[in-house]
């Protein structure tokens, strides 16, 4: 099947904007001795290329875990190994064991940027296109919505500016949604299992996948054998991914220990979640031990996940599945242990699945989510890129989307619009203040804290709205064409 010219234009625009963002600096540019996430990704290529898999996660003379030790699941390590093989073919100095630490050059930057762009185009782009192609919309609307999601600044700035490979895990998770929505549950389970084996943060989306599939299988007795097929598929996928590490219990536990580093604390930088916001008044880190904080976060997260998850389990429709993905990812972001500001991309992906149904709330979320990462963009010298891509995205959303529902009460539309404008104006004022004013000596983190609290309040509002939408949804779902 040939790709329509309109999609080719969308893809070219998305690639062009990503390339322009990649011209900017990256995380840790010229900042020894640790540099930043760019160096972390390069170092993982170095380690995985030179060392056998059973040494990737262990401290040793050739693998100092204090220097960007590998802390993502095996699929990330395999990806790093593949990039390391290619890097070594082009220029061995890029991944020379120990000697390449902190390597920075123009040609290497090109190589690293192209690896992200290639992964984005190969995995995330087709997932977005396929998701909207299967929606019951006019062709023109599908193209517009694809452009809106592909140009969301968060996906651009974190992967192609700050430097990471979120496009891989997000794309695999989205493929999981696509296949499950079409009734290919085994394929969907494989894709999401791969996403989870690429980045552990995909746990944000895990419970809705589990509850939807379990709820669907429990609707009829004839579907129970299908449940065992799904379980076998998931276990097989995990076993294949973890095969080199199954040689011993110690190896498995070490990978788990690295993937879930509880010793890092409740949070690192200022992040727009509940714990960081409340810490302005309540000093959680001083009141509780790390183990106690882990337990508090775990119980709080599980309790708040229950309403959405139980509802999805009882009413397993595709629409509820998408809304539950938003609810689950937002609950994890707001209440779980050791959350990074970049983790807002996981709720952003889930929100993108609803942009054709609830454009107003989605666009509002997009804007606040970018604003919540302003301190990170300031640290990475990406403010200009962030402002430019946000302005571009707002123009695209204004052109491609109708933000208000014409069938709804006009008074409520006006109230919503006023709320959104006031919210964005507040974010604008805080942005200008952060960029132009010097905080008091006594409160050096004043503006990052204000940004975190302000954004957190919005995310709590979005969580409430998303729960209301899920519980108001109809009990009948989208008809599934085929079941594998």
First to last CA, the chain: 22
3-class state of residue 29 by DSSP: coil
Band of pLDDT at residue 479, cut at 50, 70 and 90:
very low
Rounded CA separation 324/321 (Å): 5
- Whether pTM > 0.85 for this model: the answer is yes
* DSSP conformational letter for 476: -
pLDDT at 415: 87
Q: What's residue 402's pLDDT?
A: 86
Give the integer Cα–Cα distance in Å for 191 and 169.
9
pLDDT at 474: 61
pLDDT at residue 133, rounded to an integer: 94
* pLDDT higher than 80, residue 412: no
What is the rounded average pLDDT of the residues 25-50? 94
- pLDDT classification of 405: cutoffs 50, 70, 90: low
Going by pLDDT thresholds of 50, 70 and 90, the confidence category of residue 261 is confident
Q: Is 357 exposed, middle or buried (CB count within 10 Å of its CB: 0-12, 13-18, 19+)? A: middle
191 token code pair: 């894709």
| Between 402 and 174, residue with greater pLDDT | 174
pLDDT for residue 1: 47
Residues 263-283 as b or e (16 or more Cβ within 10 Å = b)? eeebbeebbbbbbbbebeeee
Bridge partners of 60, per DSSP, are: 63
In sequence order, which residues have a C-beta less than 8 Å from that of residue 105 and are 6 or more positions away?
none
Q: What is the mean pLDDT of residues 443-471?
A: 96
The pLDDT confidence band at residue 406, using thresholds 50, 70 and 90, is low
Quick check: 319 and 291 in contact, CB under 8 A?
A: no
Q: pLDDT confidence of 321, banded at 50, 70, 90?
A: very high
Weakest mean pLDDT among 277-291, 315-329, 369-383, 408-422: 408-422
CA distance 9 to 14: 9
The CA-CA-CA angle for residues 212, 320, 272, to 5°, reads 100
| Cβ atoms of 166 and 29 closer than 8 Å | no
Q: What is the pLDDT of residue 221?
A: 85
355: helix, coil or strand? Answer: coil
Length of the chain: 484
CA distance 231 to 311: 22
What angle, rounded to 10 degrees, do the helices at 5-22 and 383-400 form?
Answer: 160
Average pLDDT score over residue span 26-40 = 93
Burial 426-461 (b: 16+ CB within 10 A, else e): ebeebbeebeeeeeeeeeeeebbbbbbbbbbebbbb
- Give backbone dihedrals phi and psi of 481, rounded to 5 degrees, phi first: -75, -40
Tens digits of residue pLDDT in 174-188: 999 999 999 999 999
Q: Return the pLDDT at 44.
A: 97
Q: Could you tell me the pLDDT band of residue 411, with boundaries at 50, 70 and 90?
A: confident
Mean pLDDT computed over 85-100: 96
pLDDT at 286: 87
Q: Tens digit of pLDDT for each residue in 177-233? A: 999 999 999 999 999 999 999 999 999 999 999 999 999 999 988 888 999 999 999
Q: What is the pLDDT of residue 268?
A: 75
Residues 6+ apart with CB under 8 A from 213: 180, 185, 189, 227, 230, 316
Q: Is the pLDDT of residue 236 over 60?
A: yes
């Amino acid at each position: 099947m040939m790709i329509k010219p309109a999609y080719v234009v969308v893809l070219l625009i998305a690639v062009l904007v990503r390339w322009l963002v990649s011209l900017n600096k990256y995380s840790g540019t010229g900042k020894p001795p640790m540099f930043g996430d760019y160096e972390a990704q390069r170092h993982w290529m170095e380690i995985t290329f030179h060392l056998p898999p059973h040494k990737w996660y262990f401290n040793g003379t050739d693998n100092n875990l204090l220097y960007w030790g590998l802390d993502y699941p095996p699929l990330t390590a395999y990806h790093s190994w593949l990039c390391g093989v290619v890097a070594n073919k082009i220029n061995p100095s890029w991944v020379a064991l120990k000697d390449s630490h902190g390597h920075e050059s123009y040609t290497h930057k090109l190589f690293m940027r192209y690896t992200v762009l290639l992964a984005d185009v190969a995995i995330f782009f087709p997932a977005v296109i396929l998701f909207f192609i299967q929606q019951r919309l006019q062709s023109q609307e599908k193209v517009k919505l694809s452009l809106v999601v592909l140009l969301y600044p968060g996906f651009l700035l974190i992967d192609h500016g700050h430097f990471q490979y979120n496009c891989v895990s997000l794309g695999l998770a989205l493929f999981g949604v696509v296949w499950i929505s079409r009734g290919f549950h085994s394929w969907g389970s494989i894709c999401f299992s791969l996403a989870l084996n690429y980045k552990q943060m995909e746990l944000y989306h895990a419970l809705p996948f589990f509850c939807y599939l379990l709820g669907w299988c429990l609707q009829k007795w004839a579907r129970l054998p299908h449940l065992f097929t799904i379980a076998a598929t998931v276990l097989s996928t995990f076993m294949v991914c973890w095969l080199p590490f199954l040689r011993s219990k110690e190896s498995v536990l070490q990978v788990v220990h690295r993937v879930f580093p509880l010793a890092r604390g409740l949070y690192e930088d200022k992040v727009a979640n509940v714990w960081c916001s409340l810490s302005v008044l309540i000093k959680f880190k001083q009141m509780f031990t790390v183990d106690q904080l882990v337990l508090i976060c775990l119980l709080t997260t599980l309790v708040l996940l229950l309403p959405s998850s139980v509802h999805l389990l009882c009413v397993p429709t595709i629409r509820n599945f998408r809304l539950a993905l938003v609810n689950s990812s937002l609950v994890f972001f707001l209440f779980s242990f050791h959350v990074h500001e970049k983790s807002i991309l996981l709720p952003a992906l889930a929100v993108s699945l609803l942009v054709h149904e609830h454009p107003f709330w989605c666009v509002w979320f997009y804007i606040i989510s970018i604003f919540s990462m302003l301190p990170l963009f300031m640290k990475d010298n990406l403010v200009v890129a962030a402002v430019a891509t946000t302005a571009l995205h707002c123009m695209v959303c204004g052109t491609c989307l109708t933000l208000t529902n014409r069938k709804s009460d006009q008074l409520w539309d006006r109230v919503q619009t006023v709320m959104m404008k006031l919210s964005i104006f507040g974010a604008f004022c805080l942005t200008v203040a952060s960029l132009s004013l010097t905080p008091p000596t006594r409160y050096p983190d004043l503006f990052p804290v204000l940004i975190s609290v302000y954004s957190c309040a919005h995310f709590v509002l979005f969580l409430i709205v998303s729960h209301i939408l899920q519980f108001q949804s109809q009990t009948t779902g989208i008809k599934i064409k085929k079941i594998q």
